[in-house]
Amino acid sequence: MIRRPLLDVSDVVVRYGPVVAVDGATLSVGDGELVALIGPNGAGKTSLFNAIAGVLRPEEGSVRLDGEPLDGLPPHIRARRGLARTFQGGRLFSRMTLRENLEVAHYERGRSGLASGCLGGPLARRDRHRDRRLAGSVLEAMDLADFADLPCASLPFGMQRRAEVARALCLEPRILLLDEPSAGLDPAESAALAATIVRLRDTTGLAVLLIEHDMTFVMNISDYIYVLDFGVSLAEGTPQQVRSDPAVVAAYLGVDVVA
């Protein structure tokens, strides 16, 4: 099968001083694919993720979205091109309500500017109407409607993770980058979130790249898995292939393959 890559990451190298965090990682995500990037702690997953999002600049390698190079572009421009991300620690606007968070996320998709906003002109009103409609439908789709008018700081932790995915969706992205979405969730919440992500992909055809520490979370839902260890691609393939790969097992369980 030839996969048409939407996101194409090739030979990315990230160094922090003498430490090589990512050493020539290559991966690609096709349209509507759910791809996972896994690896043990310190494998370089988050560094690679940040290089894709544009938060840090890789020394080598390139990142392409639908054939167009993103190299050198700042994170907010990448976001406007359709690359939405969530944060491991969560970066919700905690004093604003969930609905407001979602509406802000759609801001850059509108066409009205500052002047129109200050005057309250028709363009700004139309855009605001669109923001609200989209936020409303995403809230429904993510089962968050009951929490919409609460300040984010007061949401339970599990809801905040879900809220962050919802906010990223309001950017109307082409690909969704999720940084350890299940971190800190209990098994039930984690399973619910996994189900939501799969449903999203199935209903909207959105491409998803998720970083996970937790193998069980990704095994059931991913189409394709990349395994990273010490900054190097260790293995890749379908969940079946990866699960039975001795190098992966060794990396995760700390067993020496040869022995």
Partner 1 sequence: MEMVRLAVAGLPAGGMYALAALGIVLIYRATGTINFAQGAVATASAFVFDLAWTEHDLPVLVAALAALAVAFAFGLALERLARAIGHGNVLAQVIATLGVQGVILAGCERIFGQEARVVPTYFPSGSINVAGVFISYDQLAVIVAAAALSATVGLALTRTGLGTSVRAVSQNRLAASLAGLPVQRIEGISWAAGTVLAGLAGILLAPLLFLDTYRLSVFFLVKPLAAAVVGGLVSLPLAFGAGITIGVAEGVLSRYTALPGLTETVPFVMMLAALLVRRSFRSELSPAPLSKNPAIRPGTGRFWPGVTALCAMVAVVPALSPAQTVTLRLTISFTLLALSLVVLTGWVGQVSLAQGAFFGLGAFMAATLGNRAGLPFGVVLVAAPVCVVPFAVIVGLPAVRFRGLLLAVVTLAFGSLCSASLFEWKTFTGGLDGSHLPSPSLFGVDLSGDRYTFVCLAVGGLVFAGARNLARFRCGGPLFGVRESEDGAQALGIGVTATKLIAFGISGAIAGLGGTLFGYTTGFVSGAQFTPVLSATIFAVTVVAGVESLWGAVLAGAIFTVPSGETVQLLASIAVIVVLVFLPGGLTEARRRFIRPAIRRRGADVVSAGETPVERQDEVVMAPAPR
* b/e per residue 94-105 (b: at least 16 CB within 10 A): eeebbbbbbbbb
The yes or no reply on residue 171 touching partner 1 (CB under 8 A) is yes
Minimum distance from CB of 56 to partner 1 (Å)?
12
Measured CA to CA, the distance from residue 81 to residue 75 in angstroms comes to 10
Q: Which is nearer to partner 1, 136 or 151 (CB)?
A: 151
The yes or no reply on residue 143 touching partner 1 (CB under 8 A) is yes
Q: Which is nearer to partner 1, 47 or 234 (CB)?
A: 47
Minimum distance from CB of 254 to partner 1 (Å)?
31
The one segment of 41-49, 155-163, 213-221, 239-247 that binds partner 1 by CB under 8 A: 155-163
From residue 228, alpha-carbon distances to 38, 148, 245 in Å are 6, 37, 13
**Phi, psi of 131, deg, nearest 5:** -55, -45
Q: Among all chains, which residue has been given the structure tokens 């082409």?
A: 174
Minimum distance from CB of 185 to partner 1 (Å)?
10
Which residues pair with residue 60 across a beta bridge?
A: 13
The yes or no reply on residue 146 touching partner 1 (CB under 8 A) is yes
CA-nearest of 191, 221, 240, 210 to 39 is: 210
- Options 195, 247, 255, 257; binder of partner 1; rule CB under 8 A: 195
The yes or no reply on residue 196 touching partner 1 (CB under 8 A) is yes
The yes or no reply on residue 66 touching partner 1 (CB under 8 A) is no
| Count of residues of this chain found to bind partner 1 when the rule CB under 8 A is applied | 61
Binders in 83-112 for partner 1, by CB under 8 A: 84-87, 91-97, 100, 103-105, 107-108, 110, 112
Cite the beta strand spans of 206-250 per DSSP E. 207-212, 224-229, 232-237
The yes or no reply on residue 153 touching partner 1 (CB under 8 A) is yes
The yes or no reply on residue 192 touching partner 1 (CB under 8 A) is yes
The yes or no reply on residue 147 touching partner 1 (CB under 8 A) is yes
The yes or no reply on residue 120 touching partner 1 (CB under 8 A) is yes
The yes or no reply on residue 29 touching partner 1 (CB under 8 A) is no
* Residue 240: exposure state from Cβ atoms within 10 A (0-12, 13-18, ≥19): exposed
Handedness of CA 132, 133, 138, 143 (dihedral sign): positive
- Token pair recorded at residue 10: 């090739």
Which residues pair with residue 28 across a beta bridge?
A: 8
CA-nearest of 107, 92, 102 to 152 is: 92
The yes or no reply on residue 68 touching partner 1 (CB under 8 A) is no
Residues in touch with partner 1 (CB under 8 A): 53, 55, 74-77, 79-80, 84-87, 91-97, 100, 103-105, 107-108, 110, 112, 114, 116-120, 124-125, 127-128, 131, 143-147, 149-151, 153-156, 158-159, 167-168, 171, 188-189, 192, 195-196, 199
